[in-house]
Amino acid sequence: MTNKHALLVILLSAIAYYLFAYTTARTDFNKVFTYYSILFIAFVLLYKYSKLSTKWLIVSGILLRLIFLFAIPNLSDDFYRFIWDGRAIANGINPYLILPQNNPNLISNGIELYKGMGSMNGSHFTCYPPLNQFAFTIPAIISENGILISTIMMRLTLIISDIIALYFGLKILEHLNIEKRKILLYFINPFIIIELTGNLHYEGMMIAFLSASIYYLLKNKNHLSAILWAFAVSIKLIPLLFIPLFYKKLGLKKLLIYGTLVLIVNAILFLPFIDKELIQNFSSSIELYFQNFEFNASIYYIVREIGFWIKGYNIIGIVGKITPFIIISIAALISLIRKNNKIDILFTSMLFLIVCYYILASVVHPWYIAIPLFLSVFTKYKFPVIWSFTIIFSYSAYVNHNYKENLWLVFLEYLIVIIFFIIEIIQTTSPSETKHNKLPL
């Protein structure tokens, strides 16, 4: 593909992103799927066939993100809760102690925000860790009125987060002697641009801290790495899952110090919100997540059907209590049997662990796939790139306001990913995980 053709593809992508951001509702799945497919094809063409330099494709990725700047997120309503929590803090209210449904008039635009987030979101206590809450507060400090200004501020914050993840991602690739172009599998992927920049999900900020932490871990700056890892955990709790995998790289003593630092930093970050009801409310929201919610699951749906057949009712409460122990066991097993002292193997272990977690989970929202996609950049596996496309099938659940998943499309989503994963496993002929497949996709 010539540079002229590549620029044309970027221009067409810009038009598609604009139409996606400003003219598409999530209830119109045909439009969502069509625009997303066009954008994904353009992404593949640019990554695989374009002769444009990595630098220019990175610049195009930043410019494409800016198209969303004035758009209200159209695929997720979580941002309403983000704004609510941030404005609560700005007004001196502890967001861990109030329910939006009981306090719609406490903050500016409170009723509008509660209607936007929906009764399900507004009827439970916030589950977002403290550093995430501080990030929500930034837009409220700038302006406590209106929705658009808040979304613009959040979006700029998340674009900066993506650039930070890009910066450290490039440094990690250089350290591992992997071609830097691979970072584009993450940075110009329409999934990342739409879900993180477009829909304002803070996985992007978590990955920014995670990437910096991993880089300093590679440089044996363990204390700095642990502090940054704690920041990532204080955005989203999921990075806690990976800490046992550092056992062979750090050794038991250093691992205990590392984990203790992560816990201490998180405890300090919780101090501004400390209250006797904090632990109860926060843990109740986490428990509710594991034992009540269902969305875009795979193995869990099979287990659920078996439960209906045997028990005659939904066994999510039982499964939700067992699943964490299964994941902890898998994490312990991977940390003991794999040579995670080698960085390339460590990345693969992290990828396998997070995929195991999502395969067993009862809830797999689209934006969750950002983590395995980022990790895959540093491995020879590319099935998460495929997943970043098939995940769009999950939005078929929003075709009508009553919300009903199309389980055939969910099945197709996971079937395609599993097939590609099996193919990649079969094609892995070398016992060493230091050699990386040079195929772009």
pLDDT tens, position by position, 370-422: 999 999 999 999 999 999 999 999 999 998 777 789 999 999 999 999 999 99
User: Rounded to whole angstroms, what are the CA distances from 336 to 239, 245, 247, 248?
Assistant: 18, 8, 8, 8
Q: What is the structure's pLDDT at 441?
A: 58
Confidence class for position 144, pLDDT limits 50, 70, 90: confident
Mean pLDDT score across all residues of the chain: 92
- Scanning the structure block, which residue is given the tokens 């674009």? 159
User: In whole angstroms, what is the distance from residue 42 CA to residue 335 CA?
Assistant: 39
C-alpha 395/C-alpha 405 separation (Å) is 8
Q: Is 63 within a domain?
A: yes
191: which DSSP letter? H
Q: Where are the alpha helices (DSSP H) in 219-246?
A: 222-233
| Residue 433 domain flag | no
- 436 in a domain, yes or no? no
Q: What sign for the dihedral angle of Cα 86, 91, 93, 94?
A: positive
Higher-scoring residue by pLDDT: 145, 70? 70
Look at residue 204 and tell me whether its pLDDT is greater than 90: yes
Residue 123's pLDDT band, with cuts at 50, 70 and 90, is confident
Q: How far is CA 129 from CA 114, 233, 283, 384, in A?
A: 20, 8, 11, 26
pLDDT for position 432: 47
DSSP 300-319: HHHHHHHHHHHTSS--HHHH
pLDDT at residue 221 greater than cutoff 80? yes
Task: Please choose, from the candidates 240, 230, 271, the residue with its C-alpha nearest in 3D space to the C-alpha of residue 96.
Answer: 271
Strand-pairing partners, residue 295, are 363
Predicted local confidence at residue 200, as pLDDT: 97
**287 pLDDT higher than 90:** no
In a domain, 150, yes or no: yes
Residue with tokens 């993450």, as numbered in its chain: 186
Cβ neighbours, 10 Å, residue 157: 17
Average pLDDT over residues 84-110: 89
- Residue 119 pLDDT greater than 80, yes or no: yes
Confidence of residue 438 (pLDDT cuts 50, 70, 90): very low
Closest CA to 233 of 197, 199, 269: 269
* Dist. CA 258–CA 224, nearest whole Å: 10
Position 433 pLDDT exceeds 50 = no
Other CB atoms within 10 Å distance of the CB of residue 304: 17
Question: What pLDDT score does 271 carry?
Answer: 94
Q: Which residue has the higher pLDDT, 63 or 1?
A: 63
The pLDDT value recorded for residue 229 is 98
Q: How confident is the model at residue 439 (pLDDT cuts 50, 70, 90)?
A: very low
Domain for residue 88, yes or no? yes
The residue to which tokens 């869990």 are assigned: 300
Residue 440: inside a domain = no
Least confident of 61-70, 121-130, 188-197: 121-130
**From CA 167, how far away is CA 173, in angstroms rounded?**
10
Give the CA diameter of the chain.
63
Q: Are 119 and 109 in contact (CB under 8 A)?
A: no
Residue 295: φ, ψ to 5° = -170, 130
Domain that holds residue 99: 3-427
Question: Is the per-residue pLDDT at 190 higher than 90?
Answer: yes
- Cα separation of 163 and 179, whole Å? 18
Number of residues assigned to the chain: 441
Determine, yes or no, domain membership for 199: yes
Residue that the structure tokens 């969502």 belong to: 32
Contacts of 382 (CB under 8 A, 6+ apart): 185, 376, 420, 424, 437, 439, 441
Domain total of the chain:
1
298 phi/psi in degrees, rounded to 5: -120, -85
In a domain, 194, yes or no: yes
pLDDT mean over 44-73: 95
Q: Do 379 and 287 meet the contact criterion of CB atoms below 8 Å apart?
A: no
| Beta-carbon-side half-sphere exposure of residue 46 (alpha carbons within 13 Å) | 32
Token output for 91: 């007004």
- The model's pLDDT over 329-379, given as tens digits with 9 standing for 90+, comes to 999 999 999 999 999 999 999 999 999 999 999 999 999 999 999 999 999
Residue percentage of the chain with pLDDT more than 70:
97
- 296's CB contacts (< 8 A; 6+ apart) are 363, 364, 365, 366, 391, 394, 397, 405, 410, 413
- Which is nearest to 202 in space by CA: 384, 389, 367? 367
Least confident residue range of 18-27, 62-71, 136-145 = 136-145
Which of 116-130, 191-205, 388-402 shows the highest mean pLDDT?
191-205
Annotate 49-68 with b (16+ C-beta within 10 A) or e (fewer).
Answer: ebebebebbbebbbebbebb
Confidence band for 57, pLDDT divided at 50, 70 and 90: very high
